[in-house]
């Protein structure tokens, strides 16, 4: 009987492209890692990143400037060559600093200029928590306390109760991006709370994708991190829900 040669699976005929506008440089390598973990070309998923620039200081005036309409329009223009199916502003502090209504207006204006559905990391956290059915969370923030408290207020506006919040008081995104994996794990674990249904780690400048399973194993609860939920939000906008074991409980959900 002749042996049939092995034929590798064919990539999907259609590709879903989600574009990310990322501020400056810190942990943007989480996005190609996510693309790889999600299956990349074989899964028909592309996650291009384009950068906009401003100061990376975690302070309210600088964050308001970073997330301004003109800067995000510049980011959308850079992403246009990728022909994205959705666009996400990959910056938590540069969205929640506007408050709930301001962040909604920011996302709506981004969608208008990009010509595709758009969101931000701040809304990604609320949507991800709701998808997991969690209502009480702990927050492990890298920001200074005054900025971290604005995130707590944003979550509250989205119906998420914060039972505890710890801030590491790190001034710049560049400093956050330099944290070693063990420092990321320690920062997160040390700020969990037993009453929390999940732990939220809100800074996209922090490399977290490689640590999510470690954190969930240690804490025995879902862990939502900024770059993780940002990728998930883009997939949600396009109707994609790939199941993978390497990106935490959130990526074990199947959309209804």
Question: pLDDT tens across 152-196, in order?
Answer: 999 999 999 999 999 999 989 899 999 999 999 999 999 999 999
Residue 241 pLDDT greater than 90, yes or no: no
Query: Which region, left, alpha or beta, applies to residue 66 given φ > 0 means left and ψ of -120 to 50 means alpha?
Result: alpha
Cβ 23 vs Cβ 53: under 8 Å: yes
pLDDT at 256 over 50: no
Residue with tokens 């390598």: 29
- The runs of H, that is alpha helices, within 115-144 are 121-132
pLDDT, one tens digit per residue, over 44-79 is: 999 999 999 988 889 999 999 999 999 999 999 999
What is the CATH code for 16-252? Answer: 3.40.50.12500
- Report how far residue 170's alpha carbon sits from residue 145's, in angstroms, rounded to the nearest whole number: 9
Handedness of CA 124, 130, 132, 137 (dihedral sign): positive
> Please, what is the end-to-end C-alpha distance for the chain in angstroms?
45
Please state the φ and ψ torsions of residue 196, each to the nearest 5 degrees. Answer: -85, 135
Domain locations along the chain: 16-252
- Angle among Cα 238, 241, 247 to the nearest 5 degrees reads 120
Q: pLDDT, tens digit, for every residue of 4-34? A: 555 455 555 689 999 999 999 999 999 999 9
């Amino acid at each position: 009987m002749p042996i049939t040669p092995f034929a590798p699976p064919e990539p999907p005929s259609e590709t879903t492209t989600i574009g990310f506008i990322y501020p400056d440089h810190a942990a943007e390598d989480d996005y190609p890692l996510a693309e790889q973990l999600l299956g990349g070309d074989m899964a028909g998923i592309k996650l291009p990143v384009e950068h906009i620039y401003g100061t990376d200081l975690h302070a309210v005036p600088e964050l308001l400037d970073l997330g301004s309409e003109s800067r995000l329009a510049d980011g959308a223009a850079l992403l246009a060559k990728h022909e994205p199916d959705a666009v996400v502003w990959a910056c938590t502090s540069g969205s929640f600093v506007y408050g709930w209504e301001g962040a909604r207006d920011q996302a709506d204006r981004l969608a208008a200029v990009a010509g595709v559905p758009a969101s931000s990391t701040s809304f990604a956290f609320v949507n991800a928590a709701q998808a997991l059915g969690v209502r009480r969370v702990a927050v492990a923030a890298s920001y200074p306390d005054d900025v971290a408290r604005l995130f707590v207020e944003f979550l509250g506006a989205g119906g998420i109760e914060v039972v505890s919040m710890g801030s590491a008081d790190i001034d710049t995104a560049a400093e956050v991006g330099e944290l070693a994996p063990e420092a990321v794990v320690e920062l997160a674990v040390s700020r969990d709370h037993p009453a929390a249904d999940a732990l939220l780690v809100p800074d996209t400048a922090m490399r977290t994708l490689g640590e999510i399973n470690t954190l969930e194993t240690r804490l025995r609860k879902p862990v939502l991190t900024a770059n993780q939920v940002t990728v998930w939000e883009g997939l949600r906008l396009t109707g994609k829900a790939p199941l993978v074991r390497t990106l935490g409980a959130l990526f074990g959900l199947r959309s209804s």
